[in-house]
Amino acid sequence: MGYRIKEIFHSLQGEGVHAGRAAVFCRFSGCNLWTGREQDRPAAACRFCDTDFTGTDGPGGGVFGDAQTLAAAILAAFPYPLDGNGWRPYVVFTGGEPALQLTPELLDVLHAHGCQCGVETNGTLPLPAGLDWVTVSPKAGTRLVVTQGDELKLVWPQVGADPSDFDGLDFRHFILQPRDDAGRGAGDEPGADHVAACVRYCLEHPRWRLGLQAHKFLGIR
C-alpha cells in the first residue's frame, strides 16, 4: 500500500509555538473530515480548509513503499548537513490528516537520524506513540480522541466550537488562530473580522494566546 504523500518541502513553521523554526514538512494525502473536492465542501465535517492535500503530485510527493524510503526522502529535503552540533532537525507531519498514515516505524527511522518529529492533527484519530510535539486543531462537531498534547490550536470563530469547550484539556499551550476562509464559501458571517474577534478573546482570556499564520503574510509556503 505505502505512504501517500502530497508534498515534502523545507520551510519555516508559520504557525503555533514553533513559528519561525526551520523544518521539513511532510504533507500526507487525504483527510477523514473532507475529501478535498470543492463540490464536497458544503457537506464536509470541516469546511474552512485552506490546504490542497489531494493526490501525490506536489513537489517531493509520491507513493513511498515503506518507512525507510519515505524517511530517506524527508531527510534529503534538509538543505544542510544533519550532523547535530547541538540541534535536532525538525520534521512536521501535516496533511490532510497525518494520523491516517503515520506509523511508529517512520518515527523510529527519523529518530534514529536525530530528528524531532511533530504532528498537526485534527485530533479525531489516535496517534502513534513517540511524537515529540503534538498540535491538535479541533473541528466543531467532531469527537476529539487526542485530548492531551503540546498545543491546542483552535481556528476561530467556528460555529459550534467555543474556546471554553477545550479549557479542561491537557495541553501546554492554547492558541486562537483567526479563521482565514476568504473566498472559500465557508464563512458563516460574511465580512466578519476574525482577527479582531480573536484579539478580543485573548485579551479577555489570557490563557489563550493569539496565533497568526506568519507564512501567509511572509509569502512563503
Query: Residues comprising the binding site?
Result: 12-14, 27, 31, 46, 48-51, 94, 96, 137-139, 177-180
Question: In angstroms, what is the minimal distance from the CB of 158 to ligand SF4?
Answer: 11
User: At closest approach, how far in Å is the CB of 184 from ligand SF4?
Assistant: 11
Site size toward ligand SF4 (CB under 6 A) is: 12
Closest CA to 101 of 119, 113, 74: 119
Whose CA is closest to 125, among 112, 134, 115? Answer: 134
State which of residues 8, 23, 26, 31 lies at the interface with ligand SF4 (CB under 6 A). Answer: 31
Compute CA distances 19 → 11, 16, 144, whole Å. 11, 5, 24
The number of angstroms, rounded, from the C-alpha of 157 to the middle of its chain's C-alpha atoms is: 18
Residues 138-157, one symbol each (x = binds ligand SF4 by CB under 6 A, - = not), give -x------------------
Shortest distance in whole angstroms from residue 119 CB to ligand SF4 = 12
| By the rule CB under 6 A, 51 interacts with ligand SF4 | yes
Q: How many CB atoms lie within 10 A of CB 112?
A: 9
96 is a site residue for ligand SF4 (CB under 6 A): yes
Do 184 and 50 contact (CB within 8 A), yes or no? yes
Q: Is the dihedral of CA 66, 145, 45, 176 positive or negative?
A: negative
**Strands of 90-94's sheet, edge to edge?**
62-64, 3-12, 22-28, 90-94, 116-121, 133-136, 148-156, 170-178, 208-210
Q: Which of 95, 118, 149, 211 binds ligand SF4 (CB under 6 A)?
A: 95
Pick the catalytic residue: 26, 46, 117, 198?
A: 46
Annotated binding site for [4Fe-4S] cluster: 31, 46, 49
* Nearest residue (CB) to ligand SF4, 8 versus 109: 8
Q: Tell me: does residue 49 bind ligand SF4 (CB under 6 A).
A: yes
Beta-carbon contacts of 183 under 8 Å, excluding residues fewer than 6 positions away, are none
d(CA 66, CA 173): 34
Q: Taking the complex as a whole, how short is the minimal distance between the CB of residue 137 and ligand SF4, in angstroms?
A: 7
Minimum separation from the CB atom of position 92 to ligand SF4 (A): 14
Query: How far is residue 143's CA from residue 161's CA, in Å, rounded to a whole number?
Result: 11
In this complex, which beta carbon is closest to ligand SF4, that of residue 51 or of residue 68? 51
Query: Which stretches of the chain bind ligand SF4, using CB under 6 A?
Result: 31, 33-34, 46, 49, 51, 53, 95-97, 122, 139
What residues act catalytically? Answer: 25, 31, 46, 49-51, 120, 215
